């Protein structure tokens, strides 16, 4: 039995109104891939940030490679040999990929050397990315690749991965697992956070379960089933989704021959996009990040109003030139892939974040004589929190204080609660635990059954197969013909992701 690479004892961290970690113990061996499992808000991310030095514990001890470690900041963590890939990316939008990576590396390296290292590491591990691209031009899946490559370039002894596959395609996940198994074989220890139970069972050799900030169990995930891991994590198995047969209605969204030139040199041109979403159906769009998803969603939401007249219609109305507020008045509600910054303002409370999209949909007007009805706003936020199981210190909690999964539940809940006639959502269950994911997917199916038209853009094929009636694939700015989910296969969609489909 080798000496532990990492040993935590008595780790405790409290914030106003919540204890994130309470007397947590954790042991990770050299070359071990160790999962940390728990529902949203269980304290997983806080614990990882403590190990990485970005959060200071109130009590407890960290021992790394047999030595007591007082890790005051991420720079000291990296000097010890600890690297971390965050769930919410730590990237500067205005800098290039290479410049972002350079910030965390030895400054004796030139920017050109760093760019060459990125290209080499990307090719080695199948995480292709252009070092010269500004980060603001990347999709979330591409940002995920940047974070992983940046961590790998430090040659870590302990690699912490917080939801690393949440926006990766199955093919990219397989490549990443090859990388992680190789790293573990070379002696690197890996702490792996994921809500995808099948991944944990396939990859990890040990698992520590957190619930309410406390360790509630340690197991070998290979000896567990998805159901038993769910019971350890949330105390129950997630509810089964109910698929009701329903006749579809009129087209709520119709996209005809949509062509849009990219707005920057690293974007993707949309070419001849044809898409229809009818009342009472869920249509999914799969694809590798960076193939036009962002550009298409901007055009559909109204953030990009350059589409030619008649190319985007809702019902009988041409909406190609309408801004997001005007489209919301027609019944469109939209959940973007970026939670913080686009889905919610980090510094505003949950109640205040309602005002971003819900002014026209709230039954009791929020504005009366020029004043906000704050009690009604708080009650509205509280109702959404209760309905979707959002764990937060009340409706006055700042959006940035929530765990990623809890913020996702609130944003999705905010838009579903508006009872839209057309609902467009990107990465609906990114970073959400199995119980909450089932709840969100069930809510989308309930919208469908109520006659809403639902469009889901996701890089998680299992999710698309679970909720969609029809599927498309987007590749190189083009959209494939649709295929009924019952007739689709992972292999077929994988081929289409390379642009290999026959014209409809």
The C-alpha angle 276, 281, 282, rounded to 5 degrees, equals: 85
CATH at residue 320? 3.40.50.300
* Residue 156 binned pLDDT confidence (cut-offs 50, 70, 90): very high
* Residue 1 binned pLDDT confidence (cut-offs 50, 70, 90): low
Instruction: Please give the Cα distance from 161 to 163 (Å, whole number).
Output: 6
Domain edge (last residue) among 234, 265, 290: 234
| Predicted TM-score (pTM) of this structure | 0.71
* Residue 316 binned pLDDT confidence (cut-offs 50, 70, 90): very high
**pLDDT tens across 204-237, in order?**
999 999 988 999 889 999 898 888 888 888 777 7
29 and 131 in a single domain? The answer is: yes
61 and 123 in a single domain? The answer is: yes
357 and 477 in a single domain? The answer is: no
415 and 473 in a single domain? The answer is: no
94 and 216 in a single domain? The answer is: yes
Q: Rounded mean pLDDT of 130-135?
A: 93
346 and 217 in a single domain? The answer is: no
Q: Which domain holds residue 369?
A: 339-419
Task: Using alpha carbons, list the distances in angstroms from residue 486 to 246, 251, 283, 483.
Answer: 15, 21, 13, 8
Residues 6+ apart with CB under 8 A from 17: 393, 394
199 and 309 in a single domain? The answer is: no
**pLDDT tens across 450-475, in order?**
999 999 999 888 889 999 999 999 99
392, 422, 423: which is closest to 407 by C-alpha?
392
Task: Check residues 405 and 369 and name the one with the higher pLDDT.
Answer: 405
455, 489, 480, 481: which is closest to 469 by C-alpha?
455
Q: State whether residue 21 is helix, strand or coil.
A: strand
Task: Using alpha carbons, list the distances in angstroms from residue 475 to 257, 288, 337.
Answer: 16, 7, 18
Task: Using alpha carbons, list the distances in angstroms from residue 325 to 277, 302, 352, 392.
Answer: 20, 8, 17, 28
The answer to whether 226 and 197 are in contact (CB under 8 A) is yes
How many structural domains compose the chain? 3
452, 504, 454, 453: which is closest to 479 by C-alpha?
504
Q: Does 303 map to a domain?
A: yes
Cα dihedral sign for 300, 305, 310, 313? Answer: positive
193 and 101 in a single domain? The answer is: yes
Q: Rounded mean pLDDT of 31-50?
A: 91
304, 224, 226: which is closest to 264 by C-alpha?
304
Helical axes 434-449 vs 226-234, angle rounded to 10°: 100
Tokens 């379960």 — which residue? 209
């Amino acid at each position: 039995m080798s000496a532990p690479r990492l040993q935590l004892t008595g780790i405790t961290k409290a914030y106003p109104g919540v204890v994130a970690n309470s007397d947590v113990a954790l042991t990770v061996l050299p070359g071990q891939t160790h999962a940390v499992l728990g529902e949203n808000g269980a304290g997983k991310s806080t614990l990882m940030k403590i190990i990485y030095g970005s959060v200071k514990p109130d009590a407890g001890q960290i021992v790394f490679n047999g030595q007591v470690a007082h890790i005051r900041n991420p720079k000291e963590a990296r000097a010890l040999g600890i690297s971390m890939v965050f769930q919410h990316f730590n990237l500067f939008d205005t800098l290039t990929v290479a410049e972002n990576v350079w910030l965390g590396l030895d400054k004796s390296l030139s920017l050109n050397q760093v760019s060459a290292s990125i290209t080499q590491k990307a090719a080695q591990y199948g995480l292709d990315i252009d070092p010269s691209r500004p980060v603001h031009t990347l999709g979330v899946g591409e940002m995920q690749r940047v974070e992983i490559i940046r961590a790998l370039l430090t040659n870590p002894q302990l690699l912490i991965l917080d939801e690393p596959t949440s926006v990766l395609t199955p093919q990219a996940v397989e490549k990443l697992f090859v990388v992680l198994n190789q790293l573990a074989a070379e002696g690197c220890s890996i702490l792996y956070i994921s809500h995808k139970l099948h991944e944990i069972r396939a990859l990890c050799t040990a698992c520590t379960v957190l619930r309410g900030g406390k360790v509630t169990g340690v197991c070998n995930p290979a000896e567990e089933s998805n159901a038993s891991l769910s019971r350890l994590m949330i105390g129950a198995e997630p509810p089964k989704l109910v698929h009701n047969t329903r006749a579809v209605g009129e087209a709520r969204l119709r996209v005809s021959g949509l062509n849009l030139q990219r707005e920057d040199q690293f974007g993707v041109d949309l070419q001849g996009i044809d898409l229809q979403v009818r009342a009472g159906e869920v249509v999914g769009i799969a694809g590798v990040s960076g193939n036009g998803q962002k550009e298409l969603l901007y055009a559909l939401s109204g953030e990009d109003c350059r589409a030619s007249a008649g190319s985007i219609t809702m019902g009988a109305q041409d909406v190609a030139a309408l801004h997001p507020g005007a489209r919301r008045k027609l019944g469109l509600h939209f959940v973007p892939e970026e939670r913080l910054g686009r889905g919610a303002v980090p510094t505003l409370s949950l109640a205040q974040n309602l005002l971003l999209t819900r002014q026209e949909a709230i039954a009791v007007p929020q504005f009366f004589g020029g004043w906000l009805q704050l009690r009604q706003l708080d009650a509205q936020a509280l109702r959404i929190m209760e309905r979707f199981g959002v764990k937060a210190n009340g409706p006055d909690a700042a959006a940035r204080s929530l765990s990623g999964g809890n913020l996702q539940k609130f944003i999705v809940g905010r838009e579903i609660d508006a009872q839209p006639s057309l609902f467009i959502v990107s990465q609906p269950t990114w970073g959400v635990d199995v119980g909450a994911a089932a709840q969100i997917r069930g809510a989308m199916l309930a919208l469908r059954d109520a006659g809403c038209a639902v469009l889901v853009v996701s890089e998680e094929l299992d999710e698309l197969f679970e909720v969609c009636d029809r599927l498309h694939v987007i590749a190189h700015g083009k959209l494939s013909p649709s295929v009924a989910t019952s007739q689709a296969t992972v292999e077929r969609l994988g081929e289409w992701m390379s642009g290999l489909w026959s014209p409809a």
